Amino acid sequence: MLQDKQVDIQGSLQEQEDSEPDSSLSQSPNVQDWLSHARSTRTQQHHDNLLRQRELQHQVAEQRKLLQSVANFGEELLNNQTLNGDSEVSIPGGVLLDSETVCPADQLRQRWENLNKDQSTKLQLSLNSLEQDQLSPVLLWSRLSSPSLVFKGEPLGQDSLSPRALFETCSQTLQRITQEAVNDGSLVGSMRGTSVQQQLYSAVSAASSWLDAAENQLLSGPVLLSEHTETQLTNFECLNRQLKIMTREVNLCRDLMAGGAGRQCGRDEQVLMEDTLEGLQERMGLLESTLVQYCDSMKDRLQDHSHVQNELRVLFAALSEHKHQLLKKMAGTVDRPASKQLETLSEVEDSLKEFEQRVAELKTRADGLQSDHIANQELLKLQDAYEELVLMVGSRRSSLNHGLSLKAQYEAALHDLTNLVDTAQDKMAADQKMTVTSVKEVQMLLDKHKEFFQGLECHMILTQTFYSKVCGLVAQRESQVLEETMALAQSVLKQAHRRGVELEGIQESWSRLRGKLPGCVQTVRGRGVQYSNCRPG
Give percent of the chain with pLDDT exceeding 90.
Answer: 3
- Please state the rounded mean pLDDT for residues 152-160: 52
| Higher-confidence position of 458 and 268 | 458
- Please state the rounded mean pLDDT for residues 488-500: 85
Categorize the per-residue pLDDT at 528 as very low, low, confident or very high, splitting at 50, 70 and 90: low
**What is the chain's percent helix, strand, coil content, to nearest 5?**
85, 0, 15
The pLDDT tens digits for 287-345 are: 898 888 888 888 888 888 888 888 888 888 888 888 888 888 878 777 777 778 888 88
Give percent of the chain with pLDDT exceeding 70.
Answer: 66
* DSSP 8-class letter at 228: G
The pLDDT of residue 48 is 72
Categorize the per-residue pLDDT at 94 as very low, low, confident or very high, splitting at 50, 70 and 90: very low
- Please state the rounded mean pLDDT for residues 26-37: 54
Categorize the per-residue pLDDT at 143 as very low, low, confident or very high, splitting at 50, 70 and 90: very low
CA 310 to each of CA 294, 303, 357, 362, 370: distance values in angstroms, whole numbers, following the listed order: 24, 10, 17, 11, 16
- Among residues 255, 249, 272, 224, the alpha carbon closest in space to that of 113 is found at 272
The pLDDT of residue 86 is 38
Helices (H), 221-266: 229-257, 260-263
The pLDDT of residue 533 is 58
Residue 39 pLDDT > 50: yes
The pLDDT of residue 527 is 64
- Of 186-190, 265-269, 285-289, 499-503, which has the strongest mean pLDDT? 285-289
The pLDDT of residue 181 is 62
Q: Delimit the domains of the chain by residue range.
A: 104-129+154-300, 311-402, 404-529
Residue 188 pLDDT > 70: no
| Higher-confidence position of 464 and 175 | 464
Rounded mean pLDDT of the chain? 74
Amino acid at 196: V
CATH (residue range 404-529): 1.20.58
φ, ψ dihedrals at 469, nearest 5°: -85, -25
- Of 365-374, 409-418, 423-432, which has the strongest mean pLDDT? 409-418
Q: Is 232 exposed, middle or buried (0-12, 13-18, 19+ CB in 10 A)?
A: buried
Categorize the per-residue pLDDT at 114 as very low, low, confident or very high, splitting at 50, 70 and 90: very high
Categorize the per-residue pLDDT at 379 as very low, low, confident or very high, splitting at 50, 70 and 90: confident
The pLDDT of residue 374 is 64
- Please state the rounded mean pLDDT for residues 418-439: 80
Q: Is 410 exposed, middle or buried (0-12, 13-18, 19+ CB in 10 A)?
A: buried
Amino acid at 391: L
Sign of CA dihedral 77, 164, 272, 129: positive
The pLDDT of residue 91 is 38
Residue 519 pLDDT > 80: no
The pLDDT tens digits for 13-27 are: 455 444 444 443 334
Strand partners, 95: 91
Lowest mean pLDDT among 59-68, 408-417, 419-428: 59-68
The pLDDT of residue 451 is 87
DSSP conformation letters of 318-377: HHHHHHHHHHHHHHHTTTS-HHHHHHHHHHHHHHHHHHHHHHHHHHHHHHHHT--HHHHH
The pLDDT of residue 20 is 44
Residue 71 pLDDT > 80: no
User: Is-contact 223 294, C-beta < 8 A?
Assistant: yes
| Higher-confidence position of 7 and 483 | 483
User: Is-contact 120 279, C-beta < 8 A?
Assistant: yes
The pLDDT tens digits for 206-225 are: 989 888 888 877 765 544 44
- Please state the rounded mean pLDDT for residues 197-202: 87
Categorize the per-residue pLDDT at 30 as very low, low, confident or very high, splitting at 50, 70 and 90: low
Categorize the per-residue pLDDT at 458 as very low, low, confident or very high, splitting at 50, 70 and 90: very high
| Higher-confidence position of 191 and 276 | 276
- Among residues 463, 456, 458, the alpha carbon closest in space to that of 491 is found at 456
Strand partners, 88: 98
Residue 502 pLDDT > 60: yes
- Of 128-132, 218-222, 223-227, 489-493, which has the strongest mean pLDDT? 489-493
- Please state the rounded mean pLDDT for residues 398-412: 86
C-alpha neighbours within 13 Å on the C-beta side of residue 95: 14
**Who's near 174: CB < 8 A, 6+ residues apart?**
196, 253, 256, 257, 261
The pLDDT of residue 9 is 45
User: Is-contact 118 208, C-beta < 8 A?
Assistant: yes
3-state secondary structure of 178: helix
